[in-house]
Amino acid sequence: MSDYDDWIGRSFSREDRVTSRMLEEFHATLSGLLGPGEVPPGFHWCLAPEALPPEDLGRDGHPRTGIFLPRLPLPRRMWAGGEVEVIAPLRTGDRVEKTSTIRDVKFKTGRSGDLGFVEVDHTYVVGGATRIRERQDLVYREDPSPDRPAPEPPQTADWDVVDSWTVSPDPVLLFRYSALTFNGHRIHYDGDYARKVEGYDGLVVHGPMQAVWMQNLAARILGRPARFFRYRGLAPLTVGYDVKVEARQQEDHLDLRVRRRADNVVTMSARADM
């Protein structure tokens, strides 16, 4: 761990503007899956991406580690979950300063092998006032081994669903969302790479896009963005599975999940505080 201590606390900032063109493309890509508001929940993930030339990319299409994030001895990157606090919504025309700070780096061994965890804090500031705070949880893993069985998917309980959406992810949706977020990860558009290198059974649906679905379903129920939204990836979602995005009412919050309709596997879960 001493090799990574000097990464903790490192920050970098960049700016972007909320434009009408970006919002139009966001609405077109996620039509029918957005809640109320001028700038829908989850749009902030389109702002100020890491933009590097090809020589600074890793094999997976992401910026290689050692530039913005620590150089970990594990090749596969996953966006595993996080937390979003909406203090005030963004507006069209806002000039946003995004500051990213590495919070923690740690390792452990799980059923699927060695794992590296990087926690990153992000703040989105407009005119000196913080609009959104976020914690992003990244997981780095070993390449898949044919000798190691895949983890068992989590069990699914029946819910008293108060609202839901049905989504049928396809390659066009994945491509357009990758373009919106400037996400070069090859698992979202290169089927051979996704299957043969990273061990998935097809093109992988973005974790943050699934979180966007749940954030916006919560906003539709509440009539506004949830102040706190916590989410966690549970199982891969690949193209070819239809899903239900579901919400159930609790006393002081909403539970949300993305559930594959064919086998009832939950790929992502969330909690939206009321």
pLDDT tens per residue, range 183-216: 999 999 999 999 999 999 999 999 999 999 999 9
CB 205 within 8 A of CB 220: no
**Contact indicator for 154, 265 with CB cutoff of 8 Å:** yes
- The whole-number pLDDT of residue 147 equals 59
- Write down all domains in the chain, each with its CATH number in brackets: 5-273 (3.10.129.10)
pLDDT at 148: 62
Res 1: pLDDT = 46
First-to-final CA distance of the chain: 38
Distance CA 41, CA 38 (A): 10
Per the structure block, which two tokens stand in for 185?
């990860």
What parts of the chain have a pLDDT lower than 50? 1
Which CA distances in Å does 48 have to 25, 203, 228, 237? Answer: 16, 25, 22, 26
The pLDDT of residue 146 is 61
**Predicted local confidence at residue 2, as pLDDT:** 56
- What span, in angstroms and rounded, lies between the C-alpha atoms of 270 and 254? 8
pLDDT confidence of residue 5: 85
The tokens for 127 are 């005119």
b/e for 205-243, b at 16 or more Cβ within 10 A? Answer: bbbbbbbbbbbbbbbbbbebbbeebbbebbbbbbbebeb
- What's the pLDDT at 246? 98
pLDDT digits (tens, 9 = 90+) for 133-166: 999 999 999 888 765 666 667 668 899 999 999 9
Tell me the Cα Rg of the chain.
Answer: 18
Query: Which residue type sits at 31?
Result: S
Asked if 247 contacts 254 with a C-beta cutoff of 8 angstroms, the reply is yes
Q: What sign has the CA pseudo-torsion 68, 74, 78, 84?
A: negative
Interacting residues of 199 by C-beta distance below 8 A, sequence separation 6+: 143, 144
Q: State the pLDDT at residue 150.
A: 63
Q: What is the edge-to-edge ordering of all strands in the sheet holding 163-167?
A: 11-17, 95-110, 113-126, 129-141, 76-86, 228-233, 266-273, 253-260, 243-249, 163-167
